[in-house]
């Protein structure tokens, strides 16, 4: 997106295009009011000379060439700078339908507006200083939120809570930078041991800034789960009840359940909600030796899903003995976060929780259940909430859930500050201290978008939908 041409007037359909009650067309830029004046007529077909700011006006949009009315609308003009973009904005609420919305857009474009790129309205809000970059990113997060918790977090970011916190750290570092610089200026007057005040300054960084950054960086994974949902893969040898459990968890017949081995050959995905967090669950081909060619491809995909998942639900079968196939799965999932389920507890069988614990040296609990009983699926969801999602839900209350870009910036800032504090003799190296403080502060600048280049902005705003 070319920032240089940001002063032209842009327009977009802001609602999903389809049949519905209301569709909204947005216009932003210096020509917005002129375009509205040209197109809008009152109920009696007269042009309207004045549009008070931030007020709805009832009337019609007509085709300026044929003068034919196109649709009955409620239009609002919002004068800069108290608008979303910081520019003059017009919103036209018309009826929603493919023809009417596209016609409206055509007419507005015929008056000189350009169709906006994805995220261009929010980009303008950022460029006009109405939002910092962390707030602009929160707009996309709100739109893409897949859990109530993620929505709550994105709301905090949009209100500026995170941006304000980052600004506070930034000011703190700038103050320190200035003080270190001042010491540098008087370096010649210092004794050979250097300046003892510098150690005091650094200890403030150590106690006030570093712990806050550490907390956010270390809770990134929990925050990510809230933002993106938890991905959980069901693994186990054929016929242990993976598909039955998937169906029980999502509450409908999503995967085929048969007594024949090797029927699930591809990865089947669905989702359910636990404590406001989306859990995406993948049912996979059962892993066993000597599969046929198609089944082998399914097993390949299973192994890939295991690598990518946040949690592996490893299912064992109470009604059959543990075999080498179970051993191979155990090997394959080592290093992953695993919850072990012993299924088919309604039947008699040789495999007990204790047998599994002993054979595989399991430390955590083995969840015993029957996938055919709905109440057991509910119990498993509660266990997921208490054992797996609890940390994420708790951390959401005590810290900020940041996105990957913000996490990377914070991690680099943290490293720079830790390097400064780890200098064995910081007083002797004030230049190094100053450099690290500056490096950390620049990372905080990047979170707020204070020195964002065009490429970064393009990358961020291209995540948005058109009309936002």
Query: Annotated binding residues for GTP, as ranges?
Result: 239-244, 258-264, 283-286
Q: Which is nearer to ligand GDP, 183 or 344 (CB)?
A: 344
What is d(CA 255, CA 86) in angstroms, rounded to the nearest whole number? 50
42, 258, 296, 462: residue in contact with ligand GDP (rule CB under 6 A): 258
Q: Which positions from 304 through 363 interact with ligand GDP, judged by CB under 6 A?
A: 343-344, 346-347
What is d(CA 415, CA 214) in angstroms, rounded to the nearest whole number? 10
- 63: Cβ contacts below 8 Å, ≥ 6 apart: 69, 70, 107
DSSP alpha helices (H): ranges in 111-192?
Answer: 120-127, 133-144, 148-158, 161-185
Give, in degrees to the nearest 5, the angle at Cα 201 between 195 and 203.
115
What is d(CA 46, CA 27) in angstroms, rounded to the nearest whole number? 22
Contact yes or no for 180/204 (Cβ under 8 A): no
Q: Which is nearer to ligand GDP, 29 or 236 (CB)?
A: 236
- 280: Cβ contacts below 8 Å, ≥ 6 apart: 229, 230, 231, 232, 269, 270, 271
Distance of closest approach, residue 225 Cβ to ligand GDP, in angstroms = 25
Distance of closest approach, residue 254 Cβ to ligand GDP, in angstroms = 11
What is d(CA 193, CA 151) in angstroms, rounded to the nearest whole number? 53
Give, in degrees to the nearest 5, the angle at Cα 85 between 83 and 90.
60
Q: Which is nearer to ligand GDP, 93 or 239 (CB)?
A: 239
Task: Choose the stretch contacting ligand GDP; rule: CB under 6 A; options: 242-250, 269-277, 414-422, 447-455.
Answer: 242-250
Phi, psi of 282 (to 5 degrees): -115, 125
**Is 328 exposed, middle or buried (CB count within 10 Å of its CB: 0-12, 13-18, 19+)?**
middle
For 55, the token pair is 């007020």
Number of residues that bind ligand GDP (CB under 6 A): 20
236, 291, 449, 467: residue in contact with ligand GDP (rule CB under 6 A): 236
Q: Which is nearer to ligand GDP, 149 or 317 (CB)?
A: 317
Distance of closest approach, residue 317 Cβ to ligand GDP, in angstroms = 8
Q: Other CB atoms closer than 10 Å to residue 441's CB: what's the count?
A: 22
Sheet holding 89-96, edge to edge: 40-41, 55-62, 69-78, 89-96, 20-28, 10-13, 114-115
86, 241, 426, 449: residue in contact with ligand GDP (rule CB under 6 A): 241
100, 125, 257, 413: residue in contact with ligand GDP (rule CB under 6 A): 257
Q: Which is nearer to ligand GDP, 83 or 264 (CB)?
A: 264
Distance of closest approach, residue 341 Cβ to ligand GDP, in angstroms = 10
Half-sphere exposure of 301 (CA within 13 A, CB side): 17
Q: Does 238 bind ligand GDP (CB under 6 A)?
A: yes
145, 244, 302, 403: residue in contact with ligand GDP (rule CB under 6 A): 244
Task: Choose the stretch contacting ligand GDP; rule: CB under 6 A; options: 80-88, 237-245, 287-295, 333-341.
Answer: 237-245
Distance of closest approach, residue 401 Cβ to ligand GDP, in angstroms = 34
Q: Which is nearer to ligand GDP, 83 or 243 (CB)?
A: 243
Please give the annotated binding residues for (6S)-5-formyl-5,6,7,8-tetrahydrofolate, written as ranges.
Answer: 26, 91, 130, 468
Distance of closest approach, residue 371 Cβ to ligand GDP, in angstroms = 4
Q: Does 264 bind ligand GDP (CB under 6 A)?
A: yes
151, 372, 383, 450: residue in contact with ligand GDP (rule CB under 6 A): 372
Task: Choose the stretch contacting ligand GDP; rule: CB under 6 A; options: 198-206, 305-313, 368-376, 459-467.
Answer: 368-376
Q: Does 267 bind ligand GDP (CB under 6 A)?
A: no
Sign of the Cα torsion 132, 134, 136, 142 reads negative
Phi, psi of 226 (to 5 degrees): -65, -40
170, 183, 242, 265: residue in contact with ligand GDP (rule CB under 6 A): 242
For 326, the token pair is 């179970």
List residues binding ligand GDP (CB under 6 A).
Answer: 236, 238-244, 257-259, 264, 286, 343-344, 346-347, 370-372
């Amino acid at each position: 997106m070319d920032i240089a041409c940001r002063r032209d007037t842009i327009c977009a359909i802001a609602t999903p295009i389809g049949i519905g009650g209301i569709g909204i067309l947005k216009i932003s830029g210096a020509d917005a009011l002129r375009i509205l004046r040209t197109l809008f007529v009152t109920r009696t077909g007269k042009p309207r000379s004045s549009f008070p700011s931030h007020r709805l006006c009832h009337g019609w949009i007509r085709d300026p060439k044929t003068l034919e009315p196109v649709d009955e609308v409620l239009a609002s003009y919002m004068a800069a700078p108290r608008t979303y973009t910081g520019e003059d904005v017009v919103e036209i609420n018309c009826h929603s339908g493919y023809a009417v919305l596209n016609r409206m857009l055509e007419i507005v474009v015929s008056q000189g507006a350009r169709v906006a790129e994805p995220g261009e309205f929010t980009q303008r809000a950022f460029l006009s200083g109405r939002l910092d970059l962390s707030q602009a990113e929160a707009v996309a997060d709100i739109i893409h939120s897949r859990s109530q918790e993620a929505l709550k977090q994105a709301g905090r970011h949009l209100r500026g809570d995170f941006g304000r916190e980052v600004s506070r750290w930034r000011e703190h570092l700038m103050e320190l930078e200035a003080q270190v610089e001042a010491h540098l200026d008087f370096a010649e007057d210092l004794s050979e041991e250097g300046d003892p005040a510098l150690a005091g300054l650094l200890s403030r960084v150590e106690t006030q800034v570093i712990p806050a950054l550490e907390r956010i960086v270390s809770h990134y994974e929990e925050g990510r789960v809230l933002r993106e949902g938890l991905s959980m893969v069901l693994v186990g040898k054929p016929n242990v009840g993976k598909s039955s459990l998937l169906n029980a968890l999502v509450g409908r017949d999503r995967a085929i359940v048969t007594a024949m081995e090797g029927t699930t050959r591809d990865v089947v995905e669905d989702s359910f909600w636990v404590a406001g967090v989306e859990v995406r669950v993948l049912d996979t081909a059962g892993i066993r030796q000597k599969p046929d060619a198609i089944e082998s491809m399914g097993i390949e995909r299973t192994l890939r899903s295991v690598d990518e998942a946040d949690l592996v639900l490893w299912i064992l079968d109470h009604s059959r003995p543990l075999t080498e196939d179970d051993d191979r799965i155990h090997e394959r999932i080592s290093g992953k976060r695993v919850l072990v389920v012993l299924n088919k507890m309604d039947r008699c069988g040789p495999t007990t929780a204790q047998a599994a614990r002993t054979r595989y040296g399991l430390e955590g609990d083995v969840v015993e259940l029957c996938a055919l009983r709905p109440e057991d699926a509910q119990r498993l969801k509660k266990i997921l909430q208490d054992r797996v999602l609890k940390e994420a839900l708790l951390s959401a209350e005590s810290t900020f859930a940041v996105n990957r870009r913000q996490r990377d910036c914070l991690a680099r800032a943290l490293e720079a500050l830790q390097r400064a504090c780890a200098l064995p003799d910081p007083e002797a190296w004030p230049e190094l201290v100053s450099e690290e403080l500056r490096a950390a502060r620049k990372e905080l600048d990047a979170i707020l978008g204070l020195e964002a280049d065009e490429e970064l902005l393009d990358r961020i705003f291209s995540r948005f939908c058109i009309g936002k």
